[in-house]
Amino acid sequence: MDLAYLRAHPEHLPTFLTHQRIRETPVSGGDICTASRLTLDDGHSVFTKSWPERAARPAPDGFFTTEAAGLRWLRDADVVPVPEVLVALPELLALAWVEPGEPGPEAAEAFGRGLAGLHRAGAQAFGAEWTGFIGALPQDNTPEEGPWSSWFARRRLLPHLRASVDRGALTGATAALVEQVVNRVGEFGGDEPPSRVHGDLWSGNLLWGADGRVWLVDPAAHGGHRETDLAQLALFGGPPHLDRILAAYREAWPLADGWRERVPLHQLHLLLVHTALFGEAYAEAVSSAARAALRAPGRATVEQ
């Protein structure tokens, strides 16, 4: 199998893998899926991810095809590097291989400008036309016109808050703090038309390439708020040269007044995803983000 044959017959890839007709090398690929590098007969490499064989449950319906739809949508904007989708089947996803490289300030600045261009490409509505996932969790992508603040509370914060409480990851006090944020979300300002966002843009989903560019991978792509991508980027220590990324972004497309104060609000979404997925280890981060959002200038004080 060479790259031309794979593009023409993507449905044949599982058969070739089953019969070990392709050289396969395990690579790191995140917390959920099994990832491999395939070496084809013509020397091209391909990145694949599949649901672990020993997983307690099968892959959710549409899990890989949803990611493929999001990658294609981001790639269609043609302003920031996104790997080509080669195969999108219910059981696996295969992408063009991106050779890893070292982070650099020039790549960071180019990425910041490109990310601004991606967001400017926009979306027809908040949400998306495809089923939503973030990690292994379902995420409601039902398209809505907005406003952003009420959409964000209803479709992003509340579902993951409920899942976190049901799991026992959040105490009643922390859940009450998040509910205060939800109830006051209209006070935070910053409403904008929907941007074309990655949706899960922590630093682990940036791939610094050997070609001197920063590539986007593993999206939960949808129409959302551009500040959410930027706030997520700063979580968990952030990527190298984050200051250069943000400076280049703001030069290309300035942010609305108060964006710094809204960072905890936007980060709250991904932190709730983590309590829903991984449990109480992230509960303190959720509490801190909710308190910071409520104590931002112009916000009401936190209710005790």
In the numeric block, which tokens belong to residue 45?
């490499």
Q: Which of 31, 76, 140, 200 is catalytic?
A: 200
Do residues 126 and 194 make contact, with C-beta atoms less than 8 angstroms apart?
A: yes
172-211: string of b/e by CB count within 10 Å (b at 16+)?
eebbebbbbbbebbeebebeebbbbbbbbbbbebbbbbee
In the numeric block, which tokens belong to residue 230?
């930027």
Q: Is 200 a catalytic residue?
A: yes
C-alpha angle with apex 143: 278 to 293, nearest 5 degrees?
50
Listed in sequence order, the residues at least 6 apart from 157 whose beta carbon sits closer than 8 Å to its beta carbon are 178, 181, 182, 185, 268, 269, 272
What SS3 class is residue 123? coil
Q: Please identify every residue annotated as catalytic.
A: 200
